[in-house]
Each structure stands twice: as structure tokens, then as C-alpha cells.
Amino acid sequence: MRFRRTVAALVALVLSATACTGADRARTALDWTGCGDGFECAKLGVPLDHDRPDGERIQISVIRLPASGDRLGSILVNPGGPGGSGIEYARSARSVLSEAVRARFDVVGFDPRGVGESSPVRCLSPSELDAYLSLDGSPDSPAEVAALEEGSRRFAAGCRSRSGKLLPHVGTADAARDMDLLRAALGDKGLTYLGKSYGTQLGAVYADLFPGRVRALVLDGAVDLSLSPLELNATQAHGFEVALDAFLEDCFTAADCPFEGPVKPAREELAALLGRTDQEPLANKSGDGRRISEAWTTLGLITPLYDRQAWPVLRQALNEALKGDGTTLLRMADLLIDRREGGAYSNQTEANMAVNCVDGRFPATSAALAEAARDSVGDAPLFGPSVMWSSLPCVYWPAKATSQEKVDAPGAAPIMVVGTERDPATPYEWSEALADQLSSGVLVGFDGDGHTAYLTGSACVDRLVDDYLINLAVPKDGVRCPKIG
């Protein structure tokens, strides 16, 4: 399963400054210390295993930006992933939440367990991650399948050897229970929360576990928790295809578009490009020595589809790639997987896999994934196979899956679910489904492109979200915000 995270989170990874540091804090209290630019940081002790509350404890890193005005309480934020850093996301609070919301709430971010600074899952060295991510993610020969299987086994084995004790306890339900302990430590009677992308899954599971402790939840770019992992993969892959078509239609109107149109021949050119990189990598002028194969090219193509504002960069990258230079595509791929300058990685890729593998029940054999990859070509010819095969390490995962197969949050206060109609990573039908599954779900639709809707340019969405968060004003279910421009 590919990452479900916001472009704002990608930007936050580039712009973020100092993160929280310091010694372990008290088990139930938050001892805040300044950590730069008006932020305060702390540690929260939580049980490794919530079924054994008096057993071993781990530390959750927390950051907050105090409210600038008449304070109502705290608002927790999560950027998605799984594996996205809530610490880094909150450091971009001034672009994550409106000024009106920041005036009334302390903005609080935390790295969920297994992520970033909160007992991070570790599996592979940077060079091993380079090698894993370079594997052909859409194998079309027995040798390529064997290489991907071996790489996926090594990924799972690395996680077992370096993080084995943690792996059974990094699921979304565990993180939701941590979030309730954080809510209590902050002194809030009810949770106010903005979750984007995978953060909607975390918020929905929280509401299902603690429906009476919900004040206001905004779930933007939702995940449909009723789907199996392979169904999620298939729908997401189709979402990327829809977003690609939207990009191409826009591209044809630009002077620097590398395609003349219509969509079908442009797609054929892209398919030919990916086919060539399977045999002959694109040139890499970054100097880091990586071969820009089909795997890196595909990641670089997917990344700008998350945000319409990145489409000019994608036009530039494709102009270069069609002339044999993949450097800009590689830089885009590095943003998605959080590979930093010099070759270091955050643990996002490892945490993403660890959470996904315990949250969902995956097939027991690679043959089942191979069949799913073949079946995906009809609806997602460019992206289907690679998205399907991306879950292969879960076939060999050393920790038992504990999936949350249904959420309804009976008795919870109204929960706002926001969906963007041409969202590439969390297709609109997922938002419709989650709003329907939640007993108090209210759907807000946006006729837009890109991943998630709040603070992406729609004054309509922003107004509805702000009024709900601050004043608990619940919009009419099914309200639709118009296209921008």
C-alpha cells in the first residue's frame, strides 16, 4: 500500500527545523520545555502493550504551539502516512490550520508510536532501503518476481531483528489509545482533532474506541476501513489514474506540456517511458549514484499528483525524462519516501509498512498478490501492479495482524468527513463510505484535484471546517463545495 499522506506533510519535512529532544518525562504528566520558534516539547509515557498497563513503557514525543488568543483547548493534528511525523507537521502549524483556529486552540502534534521520535521502528540501513526501493515494483519476469520476493523477505526480517518487540504494538488502535492518554494529559474533556489521509483512519478508530470523548473531529481525505488491504490498494491505484488524467487534461493547455493530446496517446507515451526505464535507467545528475529505474520513475510520477500546485514541476520532470534525464523525477520520489540529502532516511517507509502490515489481513502467498496485480491492470494500467506488489513484505510479516474491520462510533458527537472528488491517494468514494459508516458522520464534498481539501484553496471548505472546529457548527450532510476558478 502506498503512502497516504498530505503534500503539506511533504513540505513540512523539507521546512521543519529542530524537533523535540530531551530526557524521558513523567509517566502521566507533560513537562513542557521550549524547543524553538514559539513551540514547546514534552514526552508522554505510555504502555508498550495497552493490555498490560503496568508493564513496559515507551515514550511518545509531543509538540505544541500555544493558542494566540482566547483559548478553547487543544487540537491534535496528524498528517497521515502511516509513518508521517506529527511533530514535523505541527511545526508547520501556520500552514496546517487557519489563523482563526490557531487563535483558539493549542496546536498539538505527536509522533505516533513506531514513528520518528516515538520508539521508531527500524528495519534497514539507508543503503539497504535504497536497494529495496530500487527493486522493480511491477515485475514482468520470473527473475524480477524472485528479486522482489527476496527483497521483501529481507525487509520483514530486518524489522523482526531490529524492532521485533515493538512490531505487534504499532497498530492504529494502539496509537488511538495513546492519543486518548495524550488528550487526558492535556486536560481536554473531549478530543478536537484534524486528521488528513491516514490520519482519518486514526481519528475514526479513536472515535470508535472512545465515542463519548469526541468534541470535534475533521477527517480530511478519508480511508474506507471496511475494505480489505488489496481492495484499498486497487482503489488507490485507480485514484492515481484518475489524477493522472486530470493532470494530462490540464497539461495540454500549457505551453511547456510534453504531450500534444489527447489523453490516450499521452498515456501510451508514459507507458513507453516506464517500459524503457525497466531496461535502461534514466540519467541521474544528482551525483548520488542511484540508477533511475522504473521503480524510481514511478514514484517520481506519483508524487506531484498529490498536489495540483506541483503539476508545473511534473511537466518539467516529464520533459526532461522524455529526453533521458530523470533527476527531477528522482527528487520528487525522494520527497514522498522522505529520503534526505546525503542519503539518510527518516523511518517513514519502515513505519508505514509496520503499521499497514498489522492493521490489515494480507494474503499468505506472493501468488495472491501476483494475481491481484494482473487483475488491477484493467482499472489502473500504469499504477496498479506496483501498488499491489508494494504490500509484499506483509506476506512475510513476523507480527500478527489485528485489523479494525468496522467502525461506527455509536453515540459520538458529529464527525466531519471531507472528500476531494479527484483525490489521487484517498479516492472520494472512501470519504463517502467512512461518513456513512460513522453513526454521526457528516460528509463535505469538494469538486477539486489533489490530496485533501482543507487549506488547499477552497474558501468554502475552510469556512465550514473552521466554523465546526471553533463553534461546533455542523454543516448539512452531503454539502458540496464548488471547483476553484
Q: Which of 348, 371, 396 is the last residue of a domain?
A: 396
Total structural domains within the chain? 2
Q: Quick check: bond before 482 cis, omega within 30?
A: no
Summarised one tens digit per residue, pLDDT across range 264-288 is 999 999 999 999 999 999 999 999 9
Q: Are 195 and 107 found together in one domain?
A: yes
- State which residues form the domain around 317: 125-164+234-337+363-396
- Catalytic residue check, 119: no
Q: Are 309 and 179 found together in one domain?
A: no
Instruction: Return the pLDDT at 8.
Output: 44
Mean pLDDT along residues 2-30:
44
Instruction: Return the pLDDT at 146.
Output: 98
Instruction: Return the pLDDT at 13.
Output: 37
Domain assignment present for residue 181? The answer is yes
Query: Which of 307, 334, 423, 449 is an active site residue?
Result: 423
Mean pLDDT along residues 89-109:
98
Q: Are 134 and 221 found together in one domain?
A: no
Instruction: Return the pLDDT at 406.
Output: 84
Domain assignment present for residue 133? The answer is yes
Distance CA 293, CA 342 (A): 20
Q: Are 321 and 388 found together in one domain?
A: yes
Q: Are 249 and 195 found together in one domain?
A: no
Confidence band of 10 (pLDDT split at 50, 70, 90) = very low
Confidence band of 464 (pLDDT split at 50, 70, 90) = very high
Confidence band of 28 (pLDDT split at 50, 70, 90) = low
| DSSP β-bridge partners for residue 283 | 325
- Catalytic residue check, 50: no
pLDDT surpassing 90 at residue 127: yes
Summarised one tens digit per residue, pLDDT across range 378-435 is 999 999 999 999 999 999 999 999 876 789 999 999 999 999 999 999 999 999 999 9
Instruction: Return the pLDDT at 331.
Output: 97
Q: Are 292 and 185 found together in one domain?
A: no
Q: Which of 378, 396, 414 is the last residue of a domain?
A: 396
Domain of 188: which CATH number?
3.40.50.1820
Query: Which of 197, 346, 391, 458 is an active site residue?
Result: 197
Q: Are 374 and 470 found together in one domain?
A: no
Domain assignment present for residue 354? The answer is no
Summarised one tens digit per residue, pLDDT across range 198-249 is 999 999 999 999 999 999 999 999 999 999 999 999 999 999 999 999 999 9
Domain assignment present for residue 357? The answer is no
Domain assignment present for residue 302? The answer is yes
Summarised one tens digit per residue, pLDDT across range 315-365 is 999 999 999 999 999 999 999 999 999 999 999 999 999 999 999 999 999
pLDDT surpassing 60 at residue 17: no
- Percent of the chain topping pLDDT 70: 94
Q: Are 288 and 432 found together in one domain?
A: no
Query: Which of 390, 451, 462, 466 is an active site residue?
Result: 451
- Catalytic residue check, 197: yes
Q: Which of 371, 396, 421 is the last residue of a domain?
A: 396
Q: Are 61 and 200 found together in one domain?
A: yes
Domain assignment present for residue 348? The answer is no
Instruction: Return the pLDDT at 3.
Output: 54
Q: Are 76 and 215 found together in one domain?
A: yes
Q: Are 145 and 192 found together in one domain?
A: no
Domain assignment present for residue 422? The answer is yes
* Mean pLDDT over each residue of the chain, to the nearest integer: 94
HSE, CB side, 13 Å, CA atoms: give it for residue 181.
28
Domain assignment present for residue 388? The answer is yes
175 to 116, 179, 182, 186: CA distances (angstroms): 14, 6, 10, 16
| Cβ atoms 136, 295 nearer than 8 A | yes
pLDDT surpassing 80 at residue 15: no
Q: Which amino acid is at 151?
A: G
Q: Are 267 and 310 found together in one domain?
A: yes
Distance CA 55, CA 43 (A): 18
Confidence band of 112 (pLDDT split at 50, 70, 90) = very high
